[in-house]
Chain A
């Protein structure tokens, strides 16, 4: 704490540009939503979309711009946060478009258009936070907005049940994280992540037990938030109850943000003792991969099936991180991060795409069961073919983004000598083929039910599906551009 400094708007803009844009949009949208007559309220999501895109542009502009992070800084402006922010904003934009396309007011009243922005501001803060307090503020902003979003379908008992369940379990998760962080603060005497790292050097010698308690509490809390097994039990119920766009939001944006939190906190705060804790992450990844994929086998409801599959996918995302912990060289960690982020991009696209198709089918058939997809090839070849690509990508079929991502993750595990994680990754992927093919089989080999009318999607929905489809295929066929972009990042300053 040196001489008194005045924070100018320029400083804030440089540190929190995207957050400022998004938060401002959120307030504007909120006011607009209050003021305009109900007939014209449908413009509010479009405003949100514009704000999200603008924030995305601001983030993209600061990619590769290098600011040194001070020991005392509350937020870090580095490529690690930039790339996660870009993924979050892209996903958020697609999900808003998906919600616009779904356009069923009963299920998702227009309040979502600013709630989703507040949640996203929290997610952005979470990726950039360099201070325990900032971090917790981001986490709670994301969580509390998400609780509201889940329960937004007012008429539905399931939505209410999901919201309540998410509120209770999510609060426990937040409490665990907070409790763990309080130990860290107690030992380090500061809330800045970089300062903590240096202050803890002696604590690792004198009171390691307390640090392990803190580590386990944080890991468990994060596990709850991103549904890592064995903290995943809430996932299927909440996903099933939430309106589909919100489910997609939980599956993609929440998980991406919390993953960023996990990586940053573990690497900076506990980074000195990676050999001590990486097996914990490794086992979490392994158990999650197995439970997610095996659990999906028994599901007949597509939303629940995708919920379990998203649990399995989180396991994959954790693998490079677990593997990189063994040999904590900078290049090893960066390579692991590249693999994780590549897969995260692919995951975001294929998951949002899958939920978009599900939303259309659900609206046409008033059912989320696998049977609702029967004969989709006849009722809409376009939707059936897109869903096929998304499912094959989730399963990890070559020529899709999911395959390249999984392959990179596998290589990282192998290169770090964690063969067992690689083996589990492939074994569970083989299991995954079985349940994804249940949907494929229904779409292509079953006859459509009596109702033979074509299934039509709104233009907004078709746009979401087209973007996700193009992205999934592009990542699978031409992986080099994104890989070289990730390879050239300054992850941490």
Chain B
């Protein structure tokens, strides 16, 4: 059971290697291998989720293997680099999200007919990377998988995208590559400051299980953070470094231009993985490293963080109003929703943090579903341009219905995951920043405006004659859409299914940072 998380990473990676040796003509064999691996990985993620001990705030399902020992790396202390996995209440839901979106993206990619083998190779590697990012319990492991997602996504966009794919892929690579460099600087600073502090502190306080080597283990750092604090200056500086990395990584204003371009160019399966999972990594970084390890830095710059969040909420929503392409609209909508998470993190409240995790999961599911539904209609109408669509509810009732469900979920209709997420995160942020939160609620009004307006132009109105003969959803599409809709409603109606896992961890963090 302890290996479950490790297996979620290993299975897609092995399948990717296996796919390379399947002859290129046997496309269906490639699809079969990919689907099987994704399903198995999802089952392991699900097993871990069910077996997760909800009463504990520590990293569970630990798996560690030492990869490299560098003697005398830090003074005379050796540095031990490990491949370590584990999950707590924040990462566990995101691992399961990766599984769901990964499987659905793999099913969706059946419509890829060009360089099929390579497509699945990169897609499986990307999935392994995404699992690895959320499941890693070591700074080095984390960074390794983060870089893996960067390269794989680059290839997925630049080979299987539309006309402007190369430009969009290069932009993606540059932006996220720079974010990685900044993040790496943050990691090194973090590990170094904690190591210096721990050496000093071990004289005075007892550090449980303090190893006699320089460790990059995340649980170790978190336990040290509970025992002593870094200096205010170090925390402030490191927090700003992390914030900058996250702003770029998460496409917040003013570093947002790469995301709409990437979404507009990528194929639907890749868009589901980018919008559904990849775009949650940045905020996960903030929750995992900044909030837990630099609490005073976060407190110092909470106002800045909240303000940046609100700017992205409003700006993203306003720009989404003006979009003519569904994929760009979803991209800006996603930026706007992620701004909410930033605002919630700045609140420093347990309920706000819980709302943040809920929002990550909910937005992951809904964004993937939006892309899926929009992609499904585009398979038939051959266009993503809103002005070229219209009256689809008559010829494509099921797909239109699902698109409506996804839009309503994003708007925050009660009974769906969006509502409970927004409710919790606004509860937290109103307590800390009433004015910022009040401005942030404007975003909720705008989201209704732009999504429902786009819906109306797409599904209602006079039906265009060229769309009379379209065939509605196929069985495989029913399955994918039904899974997403079921999960969105499940979380909305019965939030404990997610909340119980998140709760203990969030409480313990909030207790430490004084929320």
Residues in A lying within 8 Å of B, measured CB to CB: 331, 335, 377, 392, 397-399, 404, 408, 411, 414-415, 422-423, 426-427, 430, 433-434, 437, 441, 444-445, 479-480, 483, 487
| B319 in the interface (beta carbon within 8 A) | no
A487 to B70, CA, bound (A): 10
Q: What is the distance, in angstroms, from A448's C-beta to the closest C-beta of chain B?
A: 13
Of A377, A411, A480, most B-chain CB atoms within 10 Å: A411
Contact: B79 with A441, CB < 8 Å? no
Instruction: Enumerate B128-171 residues with CB–CB distance to A below 8 Å.
Output: 143-144, 147, 151, 154-155, 158-159, 165-166, 169-170
Given contacts A335-B72, A398-B144, contact A444 B155 (CB under 8 A): yes
A415, A423, A434, A479: the one contacting B72 at CB < 8 Å is A415
- Is the beta-carbon distance between B158 and A445 smaller than 8 angstroms? yes
What is the bound-complex CA distance between A427 and B185, given in angstroms?
10
A–B pairs, 19, beta carbons within 8 Å: A397-B151, A398-B143, A398-B144, A398-B147, A399-B144, A411-B70, A414-B192, A415-B73, A415-B75, A430-B177, A433-B173, A434-B174, A437-B173, A445-B165, A445-B166, A445-B169, A480-B68, A483-B68, A487-B71
Instruction: Report chain A residues within 8 Å CB of B473.
Output: none
Indicate if the CB atoms of B70 and A430 lie closer than 8 Å.
no
Say if the beta carbon of B178 comes within 8 Å of chain A: yes
Residues of A within 8 A of B184 (CB): 426
Question: 8 closest A-B pairs (Cβ-Cβ)?
Answer: A445-B158, A430-B181, A398-B144, A411-B73, A445-B159, A479-B68, A335-B72, A433-B177
Q: A residues within 8 A CB of B144?
A: 398-399
**CB-CB nearest in chain A for B73:** A411
User: What 5 additional pairs, Cβ within 8 angstroms, besides A426-B181, A445-B169?
Assistant: A331-B72, A397-B147, A398-B144, A444-B155, A444-B158
Q: Which of A377, A434, A444 has the most CB of B within 10 A?
A: A444
**CB-CB nearest in chain B for A411:** B73
Q: How far apart sit A479 and B181, CA to CA, in the bound complex (Å)?
A: 23
For this complex, into which size category does the number of interface residues on chain B fall? 20 to 34
Indicate if B255 sits at the interface (CB-CB under 8 A). Answer: no
* B74 interfacial by beta-carbon distance below 8 Å: yes
User: In the assembled complex, which residues on chain A have CB atoms less than 8 Å from the CB atom of B166?
Assistant: 441, 445
Considering the chains assembled together, what is the distance between the CA atoms of A430 and B177 in angstroms?
7
Q: Tell me the nearest residue of chain B to A437, going by C-beta.
A: B173
Q: Which of A335, A414, A427 contacts B181 (CB 8 A)?
A: A427
Q: Which residues on the A side are within 8 Å of B174 (C-beta)?
A: 434
Given contacts A397-B151, A408-B70, A441-B158, contact A426 B173 (CB under 8 A): no
B358-410 contacts to A, CB under 8 A, are none
**In the complex, which residues of chain A have a beta carbon less than 8 angstroms from the beta carbon of B192?**
414
How many Å lie between the Cα of A423 and that of B188 in the bound state?
11
List, in ascending order, chain A residues with CB within 8 A of B181's CB: 426-427, 430
Residues of A within 8 A of B170 (CB): 437, 441
User: A423: which B residues are within 8 A, CB to CB?
Assistant: 185
Q: How far is the CA of A102 from the CA of B159 in the complex (A)?
A: 32
Closest to A332 in B: B72
A444 touches B159 (CB 8 A): yes
Q: Which residue of A lies closest to B147 (CB)?
A: A398
Q: A423-B185, A441-B158 given as contacts; is B74 within 8 A of A415 (CB)? A: yes
Minimum C-beta distance from B9 to chain A (A): 14
Report how far A445 CA is from B174 CA in the complex, Å. 17
B69 to chain A minimum Cβ distance, whole angstroms, is: 8
* A437 to B68 alpha-carbon distance, docked (Å): 28
Q: Which chain B positions have C-beta within 8 A of A331?
A: 72
Provide the residues of chain B in CB contact with A426, threshold 8 Å.
181, 184-185
Interface hits, B57-116 → A, CB 8 Å: 68-75, 79
What residues of A have a CB within 8 angstroms of the CB of B185 in the complex?
423, 426
Contacts of B73 in A (CB 8 A): 411, 415
Distance of B417 from chain A, by nearest CB (Å): 35
List, in ascending order, chain B residues with CB within 8 A of A408's CB.
70
Distance A423 CA – B147 CA, assembled complex (angstroms): 19
User: In whole angstroms, what is the CA distance A336 to B207 when docked?
Assistant: 32
Chain A residues with CB below 8 A from B159, complex form: 444-445
Q: Which residues of A lie under 8 Å from residue B79 when comparing CB positions?
A: 411
Chain B: which residue is nearest A445 at the CB level? B158
Question: CA–CA, A423 to B144, complex, Å?
Answer: 19
Whole-angstrom CA separation of A445 from B185 in the bound complex = 31
Contact B178 A430 (CB under 8 A): yes
Q: Which residues of B contact A377 (CB under 8 A)?
A: 118
Q: Give the chain B neighbours of A479 by CB distance below 8 A.
A: 68
| Chain A residue, CB-CB nearest to B143 | A398
A345 to chain B: closest CB distance in Å? 16
Nearest CB in chain B to that of A487: its residue: B71
Contacts of B143 in A (CB 8 A): 398
Contacts of A411 in B (CB 8 A): 70, 73, 79
Nearest-Cβ distance from residue B162 to partner chain A, whole angstroms: 13
Name the residue among A335, A392, A415 with the largest chain B CB count within 10 angstroms.
A415
Q: A397-B151, A398-B144, A433-B177 are in contact. Are A414 and B68 (CB under 8 A)?
A: no
Q: Which of B308-345 contact A (CB under 8 A)?
A: none
Q: Which residues of B contact A398 (CB under 8 A)?
A: 143-144, 147
**Which residues from A are CB-within-8-Å of B151?**
392, 397
CA distance A444 to B192 in the complex (A): 39
Is the CB–CB distance between A414 and B188 below 8 Å? yes
Chain B nearest CB, measured from A118 CB (Å): 39
The distance in angstroms between the C-alpha atoms of A392 and B148, with both chains bound, is 12
In the complex, A448 Cα to B223 Cα: how many Å? 54
**CA of A206 to CA of B73 in the docked complex: distance in angstroms?**
39
CB distance from A418 to the nearest CB of B (A): 13
Residues of B within 8 A of A430 (CB): 177-178, 181
The CA-CA distance from A437 to B173 in the complex, in Å, is 10
CA distance A231 to B67 in the complex (A): 39
Residues of B within 8 A of A399 (CB): 144
Q: Which residues of B contact A415 (CB under 8 A)?
A: 72-75
Q: Determine the residue in chain B with the shortest Cβ distance to A434.
A: B174
Q: Considering the chains assembled together, what is the distance between the CA atoms of A411 and B195 in angstroms?
A: 14
State the CA gap A34–B476 with chains docked (Å). 74
Rounded to whole angstroms, the CA-CA distance of A427 and B151 in the bound complex is 18
Docked CA distance A480–B65 (Å):
14
- Taken together as a complex, chains A and B put the C-alpha atoms of A483 and B78 apart, in Å, by 13
Give B189's nearest chain A residue, CB to CB: A419
Contacts of A487 in B (CB 8 A): 71
**Which of A399, A423, A433, A483 has the most B CB atoms < 10 Å from its CB?**
A433
Complex CA distance for A479 and B192, rounded to whole angstroms: 23
Per the 8 Å Cβ criterion, residues 264-301 of B in contact with A are none
**Which residue of chain A has its CB nearest to the CB of B188?**
A414
Across-interface contacts of A404 in B (CB, < 8 A): 68
Q: What is the bound-complex CA distance between A443 and B80, given in angstroms?
A: 37
Enumerate chain B residues within 8 angstroms of A414, measured Cβ to Cβ.
Answer: 188, 192
28-77 of chain B: CB within 8 A of chain A: 68-75
In angstroms, Cα B122 to Cα A445, docked, is 13
Residues of B within 8 A of A397 (CB): 147, 151
Bound CA span A404–B69, Å: 12
Residues of B within 8 A of A427 (CB): 181
Q: How far is the CA of A430 from the CA of B75 in the complex (A)?
A: 27
CA distance A434 to B74 in the complex (A): 31
For the complex, give the distance between the alpha carbons of A433 and B169 in Å: 14
Q: How far is the CA of A5 from the CA of B73 in the complex (A)?
A: 47
Q: How far is the CA of A485 from the CA of B143 in the complex (A)?
A: 28
Which chain A residue lies CB-closest to B158?
Answer: A445
Min CB distance B151 to A, Å, is: 7
Which residues of B467-511 have CB atoms within 8 Å of chain A's CB atoms?
A: none
B336 → chain A closest CB, angstroms: 30
Scan B170-212; emit 1 where CB is below 8 A from any A CB, else 0: 1001100110010011001000100000000000000000000
Chain B nearest CB: distance from A377 CB in Å? Answer: 8
Interface centre among B69, B70, B71, B166 (most CB of A within 10 A): B70
Residues in B with CB closer than 8 Å to A480 are: 68-69
Give the docked Cα–Cα distance between A487 and B79 (Å).
15
Chain B residue with Cβ nearest A438: B170
Which residues of A sit under 8 angstroms from B154, Cβ to Cβ? Answer: 437
Residues of chain B lying within 8 A (CB to CB) of residue A422:
188
